[in-house]
């Protein structure tokens, strides 16, 4: 029943023989929740899905793409009837999470994220790596377009193929599985980011506070990038779980509600992290200000002590004829003793007032 990739040039969406389609990761035909054997190209698989549907069976194609080229995506769009605006978004991959509908095809955009391991947080550390996954969901197909490596879908496909009853729900079951994986990665990233924030907090509020403010700003930038991926996804999920949505099967909507609960928890975490990071930043800025004030007081104290020597030396350096003690035998050591005594008094006074 299966057909070899690139073996059917009669279909307009198929590439010419000998052309390597590097954008296609996997293409599977599913009938009644079971993947059909064989290696399929996207055009022949779609034609077979239509034939199975005409016989009253639940069938669809899951085509997985990774950073496809514009020319390749154009052929796929012609075969599956995709809208040109959605295709342009899928190729450029510069979209916020959203859900749009073009005729019978829904276009779901997800931003993916994963935590980047690092030994120590620095001014240039990459904490969160982001990417995108776009899903075209039609009556007989689902096309996943992945950009970046933050969320690979091979494990999602393998896990879903072991759940026949869920997969029999059709293309929206795939959309749920992909969305669930993306949100699970959000939760993992949030837990790891919390560890970094705990480390920053410990450094700032320790007795010997250290750490450059640039590290906190770097963490702030990474958290903002993560927040841009997580927070906007709330609206598309609300649309998918709404009772007025008739495109998503009722059973699959229940699964989407579970994903929505996990996303809500992650959004709350991210917002709390943002507030905590702002508090850490303000605390560190306050510490820097206090340190600068302490430094200025120390400089002023030493300047005050030095001013005594400068003033006395300046007066006696004028060399007027009628100046007291200039002809006195013990004048020089007495003046030095007076300057030293005044300096010691000032030093003790500054120390007592914690200027030194």
User: Domain for residue 301, yes or no?
Assistant: yes
The confidence score (pLDDT) of residue 2 equals 39
Q: In what order do the strands lie in the sheet with 59-66?
A: 34-35, 24-31, 59-66, 141-147, 128-137, 105-115, 98-102
The confidence score (pLDDT) of residue 26 equals 92
Distance between CA atoms of 277 and 34, rounded to whole angstroms?
48
User: Domain for residue 307, yes or no?
Assistant: yes
Distance between CA atoms of 229 and 226, rounded to whole angstroms?
5
Kindly state the tokens that stand for 21: 């389609």
User: Domain for residue 97, yes or no?
Assistant: no
In 3D, which of 151, 157, 225, 236 has the Cα closest to residue 188? 151
pLDDT, tens only, 245-292: 678 888 899 999 999 999 999 999 999 998 888 888 877 777 777 777
The confidence score (pLDDT) of residue 78 equals 93
The three state secondary structure string of 258-320 is HHHHHHHHHHHHHHHHHHHHHHHHHHHHHHHHHHHHHHHHHHHHHHHHHHHHHHHHHHHCCCC
Question: What beta strand segments (E) does the chain contain?
Answer: 24-31, 34-35, 59-66, 98-102, 105-115, 128-137, 141-147
User: Domain for residue 14, yes or no?
Assistant: no
Sequence-separated (6 or more) residues with CB below 8 Å from residue 43: 8, 11, 12, 13, 14, 79
Name the residue with tokens 């750490």. Answer: 211
pTM: predicted TM-score of the whole model, two decimal places: 0.76
- β-sheet bridge partners, residue 136: 107, 143
CATH number of the domain enclosing 324: 1.20.58.340
What's the number of CA atoms in the CB half-sphere (13 Å) around residue 334? 9
DSSP of 6-42: T--TTSTTSPPTT---TTEEEEEEEETTEEPSS---H
How many C-beta neighbours within 10 Å does residue 230 have?
23
User: Domain for residue 299, yes or no?
Assistant: yes
Q: Domains in the chain: how many in total? A: 1
Kindly state the tokens that stand for 84: 């040109």
User: Domain for residue 318, yes or no?
Assistant: yes
- β-sheet bridge partners, residue 60: 30
Sequence-separated (6 or more) residues with CB below 8 Å from residue 75: 12, 13, 14, 15
pLDDT, tens only, 290-310: 777 777 878 888 888 888 888
> What are the CB-based long-range contacts (under 8 Å, 24+) for 294-303?
297/355, 298/355, 298/356, 300/355, 301/346, 301/350, 301/355, 301/356, 302/356
User: Domain for residue 338, yes or no?
Assistant: yes
Kindly state the tokens that stand for 323: 């100046």
- Domain range for 309: 292-352
Answer whether 234's CB lies under 8 Å from 267's CB: yes
- β-sheet bridge partners, residue 129: 114
Q: In the chain, which residues have pLDDT < 50? A: 1-19, 21
User: Domain for residue 346, yes or no?
Assistant: yes
Report CA-CA distances (Å) from 254 to 116, 251, 265, 329, 341: 32, 5, 17, 103, 85
Answer whether 341's CB lies under 8 Å from 286's CB: no
């Amino acid at each position: 029943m299966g057909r070899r990739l690139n073996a059917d040039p009669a279909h307009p969406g198929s590439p010419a023989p000998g052309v390597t389609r590097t954008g296609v990761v996997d293409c599977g035909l599913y009938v009644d929740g079971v993947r059909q054997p064989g290696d399929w190209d996207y055009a022949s698989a779609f034609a077979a899905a239509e034939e199975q549907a005409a016989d009253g069976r639940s069938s669809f194609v899951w085509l997985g793409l990774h950073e496809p080229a514009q020319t390749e995506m154009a052929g796929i769009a012609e075969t599956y009837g995709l809208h040109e605006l959605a295709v342009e978004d899928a190729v450029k991959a510069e979209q916020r999470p959203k859900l749009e509908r073009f005729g019978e095809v829904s276009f779901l955009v997800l931003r993916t994220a994963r935590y980047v391991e690092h030994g120590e947080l620095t001014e240039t550390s990459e904490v969160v790596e982001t990417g995108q996954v776009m899903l075209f969901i039609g009556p007989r197909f689902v096309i996943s377009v992945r950009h970046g490596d933050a969320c690979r879908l091979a494990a999602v496909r393998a896990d879903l193929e072991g759940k026949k009853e869920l997969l029999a729900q059709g293309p929206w079951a795939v959309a749920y599985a992909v969305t669930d994986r993306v949100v699970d990665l959000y939760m993992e990233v949030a837990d790891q980011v919390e560890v970094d924030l705990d480390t920053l907090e410990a450094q700032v509020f320790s007795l010997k506070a250290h750490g450059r403010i640039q590290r906190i700003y770097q963490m702030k930038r990474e958290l903002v990038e993560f927040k841009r991926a997580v927070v906007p996804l709330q609206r598309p999920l609300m649309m998918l779980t709404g009772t007025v949505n008739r495109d998503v099967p009722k059973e699959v909507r229940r699964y989407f509600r579970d994903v929505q609960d996990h996303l809500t928890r992650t959004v709350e975490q991210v917002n709390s992290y943002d507030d905590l990071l702002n508090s850490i930043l303000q605390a560190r800025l306050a510490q820097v200000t206090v340190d600068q004030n302490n430094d200025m007081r120390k400089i002023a104290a030493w300047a005050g002590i030095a001013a005594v020597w400068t003033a006395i030396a300046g007066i006696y350096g004028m060399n007027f004829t009628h100046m007291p003690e200039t002809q006195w035998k013990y004048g020089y050591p007495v003046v030095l003793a007076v300057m030293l005594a005044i300096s010691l008094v000032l030093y003790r006074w500054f120390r007592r007032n914690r200027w030194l």
